[in-house]
Amino acid sequence: MKVTTLGTGWPLPDAARAGASNLVEAGGQRFLVDTGRGVLMRLAAAGAGMGQVTAVFLTHLHSDHVNDFNDVVTTSWIGQFTPGVLKVIGPTGTQRFVDATLAMLEDDICWRLDHHADLTWRPEVEVTEVTDGVAFEADGVRVLAAPTEHKPVHPTVGYRFEHEGAVVVCAGDTVPCDGLDRLCAGADVYVQTVCRRSAVEAIPSPRLQDILDYHSDLVQVGQTAARGGVGTVVLTHLIPPPAPGTEAEWAAEVAEHFAGTIVVADDLTVVEAPLRSD
């Protein structure tokens, strides 16, 4: 199993970092986790298209995690030559969000149906809303969801991918909580959206200070990883984007609390699981 950080940026546009998204590959299946800005460009760079994606998982419906969801819907529809179903798994509210996205796309859908004689079907999106427990299971891959803590955004979930004994966790935006601890228990790879508290506090913007209370900071990521006994921590959704050359400082803050491997991800960083030697 491997995970590729498709987008490691924060909510603001960044020339080097796309919006929040990860690609998990396991047992011949590919899964997108979140669909932030630029997701399909980065998926193409990772060598895949929507035709190879088995399912899309959403951690929550904050705009920076779903900016390009409409692109995922349209591209998976017009990119296929036979009718297909886009499987979307997300927290309660996902069906309403998908319905609204399809309504927003309605004119475009009609124009394409009018124009292409061989396109005779509408986009079909199958939504599964999840809270806690098994979110997906097929061909040896099991995905567990658990509630996370990102108030006032509610509900939010994280995901634990399991395949042949290997475990990859894509946590999404959350502070430490019981659900996150359950996902991370014994994980080989723990991918966490993160903020660097000292760097945020140095920016004189009240709106930026607000984000500190609903994201894990580097210390909290290290503590969560240590509690779970995880093998590798992958830092993503980096708030604020690290100044070039300061990535080692981010890792060092985590390392004060966690003895395992720490990866400060760029877009398209690949981490394989399992990585443990024991």
Chain contacts with Zn ion (rule: CB under 5 A): 62, 64, 173
CB of 199 to Zn ion, least distance (A): 16
- Catalytic site residues? 64
Helix H or strand E segment including 136: strand 133-138
Q: What sign does the dihedral 258-264-267-269 (CA atoms) show?
A: negative
**Torsion of the alpha carbons at 234, 237, 239 and 241, rounded to the nearest 10:** 90
For residue 262, give every residue at least 6 positions away whose Cβ sits within 8 Å of its Cβ, in sequence order, or none.
Answer: 232, 233, 235, 251, 254, 255
CB of 19 to Zn ion, least distance (A): 8
Q: 59-70 burial string, b = 16+ CB within 10 Å, else e? A: bbbbebbbbbbe
Helix H or strand E segment including 226: helix 218-228
- Name the nearest CA neighbour of 60 among 191, 152, 124, 188: 152
Q: Which residues pair with 169 in a beta bridge?
A: 160, 190
Distance CA 124, CA 84 (A): 7
Structure tokens at 172: 């999404």
At 204, the amino acid letter reads P
The residue among 62 and 196 lying less far from Zn ion, judged by its C-beta, is: 62
